[in-house]
Amino acid sequence: MRLKQAIQALAVLVPLAFLLYFWTASLLLFAGSASAVSSWNVNATVNVTNVQPTVNNVLLDDNISSPSDQIDLVAGGFQLAYCNATINDTNGYQDIINASAVIYYSTATPTSADNNETHYTNSSCTLAAGSGLSRGASCAFNMRYYATNGTWTCNMTVLDSDNANVTGTDTAVVNLLVALNISTSILNYGNLAPLAESSAIPETITNHGNGQIDMVLNGTSMPCSSVGTIDVSAQHYNVTGTGTTYTTMTPLSSSPVTETAFNLAKRTDASGDTTRLTNWKIVAPVGTKGICTGNVTMAVVTG
């Protein structure tokens, strides 16, 4: 009887013990997993979108900034003109990757073909180092002396790394340039007896500006080393390029005379340098001897 009771008790206690064991184990397992993971790495992502740059403070000028917005060409040569700007990009200055610019006279457009008279292109301007959200851009242009005088526009185009582009503009005036070059600085009439007529001395005039020109001429008398003085009017000239008959040539004057029919056009790309031959002669009067020297002033005005 006691044995039977003991067996019945075990039949109840053993399953209870198993239940207690698995319940406790599951609790320990749960508690153990919670304490082993104290942090998680969670991915965070956002796509920062592109913002197109802006072009600010565009300035077209030469290297002399005062007076501003005026470009003075160099007679017969080249003048560097600059179109500068500050570029801003909200994505950071590193996003600004290219600046290009054209400058053009009012008869042309930004997309016109390059032409020394009316249109210049700089497709790879200089970008400054930059910081923060901005960097500078400088576009240089080698303008020829016969670039058309008047209002020019700079049109700068800026690219960021997404090829988002934007343009900025500024205008400046290319000033009128009135200038000449001469083929010789000495009119040497050689050896000449009194009343003898010299041969014609050629003097070629080149228009080195950007407008049509007329000559303005005057001179001085020519004192001689031994005897007398040659009057200024003894030198005769012809500025039309033809005719070397002394009596029909124009006597030089001591006061400036404008030769309004000179009309030497400015250079074009097609024409090359524009030039005009002038001829000079002299007749020394009686009562003179020796080396006789004076000055001739050859000037030009727009005309």
- Interacting residue ranges for Ca ion, rule: CB under 5 A: 50-51, 61-62, 64, 70, 89, 91, 95, 160, 214, 260, 263, 303
Q: Tell the smallest beta-carbon distance from residue 41 to Ca ion (Å).
A: 31
Q: What's the burial of 191, exposed, middle or buried (CB within 10 Å: 0-12/13-18/19+)?
A: exposed
Reported as half-sphere exposure (CB side, CA atoms, 13 A), residue 249 has a value of 27
Q: Tell the smallest beta-carbon distance from residue 197 to Ca ion (Å).
A: 29
Nearer CB in complex with Ca ion: 62/117: 62
Reference 89, options 42, 55, 125; nearest CA is 55
Nearer CB in complex with Ca ion: 81/125: 81
Reported as half-sphere exposure (CB side, CA atoms, 13 A), residue 47 has a value of 2
Q: Tell the smallest beta-carbon distance from residue 260 to Ca ion (Å).
A: 5
Q: Tell the smallest beta-carbon distance from residue 303 to Ca ion (Å).
A: 4
Q: Tell the smallest beta-carbon distance from residue 154 to Ca ion (Å).
A: 13
Nearer CB in complex with Ca ion: 215/284: 215
Nearer CB in complex with Ca ion: 120/189: 120
Question: Cα-Cα-Cα-Cα dihedral of 109, 110, 112, 115, to 10°?
Answer: 100
> 245 in the Ramachandran plot: left (φ > 0), alpha (ψ -120 to 50) or beta?
beta
d(CA 298, CA 189): 17
Nearer CB in complex with Ca ion: 10/64: 64
d(CA 137, CA 158): 9
Residue with tokens 């600010």: 56
The tokens of 169 are what? 């503009």
The tokens of 37 are what? 């993971």
Q: Tell the smallest beta-carbon distance from residue 161 to Ca ion (Å).
A: 7
Nearer CB in complex with Ca ion: 203/214: 214
